[in-house]
């Protein structure tokens, strides 16, 4: 199997397989372009709300004080439990688990900071570039996290 076949077809190879008069590789390229566009949109806002340095205007120590007041107020207790039954080589087995702790309600944190006159800053072009170039590393983990019910972009 030639992995470069879609690219060579897209670049005008004479042996292009055609579907409806168009080279088949354009299907692959349009999917790749759609994926790149989706990643660019997702990466354009990659400034975490979980740092006092990501809020403007920056007027230390006031922004730090406001941030930690809002952070304290946005902490919420949680408790989660789960139980499942699954098949194994010996029949069926059951397992369960539970956890409890504190987590930050990011929406409440951002609202509190907004009420105090601070807004989350926009990503710089360097941050956006790094996010896009490292996307092949972090996007699969985000997909796995989403499959498990988590959201790796929750603090955005």
Residue 156 is predicted with a pLDDT of 57
Q: Is residue 150 one of the residues assigned to a domain?
A: no
| Model confidence, pTM | 0.55
The answer to whether residue 86 scores a pLDDT higher than 70 is: yes
Q: Is residue 14 one of the residues assigned to a domain?
A: no
Q: Is residue 74 one of the residues assigned to a domain?
A: yes
3-state secondary structure at position 19? strand
Q: What is the extent of the structural domain holding 102?
A: 48-121
Residue 39 is predicted with a pLDDT of 58
pLDDT band, very low/low/confident/very high, at 44 (cuts 50, 70, 90): very low
In tens, the pLDDT along 11-36 reads 444 454 555 555 555 455 556 655 65
Please give the helix or strand (H or E) that residue 34 lies within, else none: helix 25-43
Residue 46 is predicted with a pLDDT of 65
Give the count of domains, the chain: 1
Residue 76: phi and psi, rounded to 5, are -130, 140
Residue 7 is predicted with a pLDDT of 47
């Amino acid at each position: 199997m030639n992995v470069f076949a879609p690219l060579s077809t897209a670049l005008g190879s004479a042996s292009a397989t055609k579907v409806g008069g168009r080279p088949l590789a354009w299907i692959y390229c349009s999917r790749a372009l759609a994926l790149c566009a989706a990643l660019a949109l997702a990466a354009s806002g990659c400034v975490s709300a979980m740092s006092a340095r990501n809020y403007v205007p920056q007027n230390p120590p006031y922004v730090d004080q406001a941030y930690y007041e809002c952070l304290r107020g946005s902490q919420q207790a949680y408790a989660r439990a789960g139980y499942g039954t699954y098949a194994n080589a010996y029949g069926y087995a059951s397992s369960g688990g539970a956890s409890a702790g504190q987590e930050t309600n990011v929406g409440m944190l951002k609202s509190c900071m907004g009420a105090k006159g601070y807004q989350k800053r926009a990503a710089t072009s360097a941050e956006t570039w790094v996010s896009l170039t490292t996307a092949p590393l972090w996007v699969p983990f985000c997909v796995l996290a989403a499959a498990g019910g988590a959201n790796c972009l929750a603090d955005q």
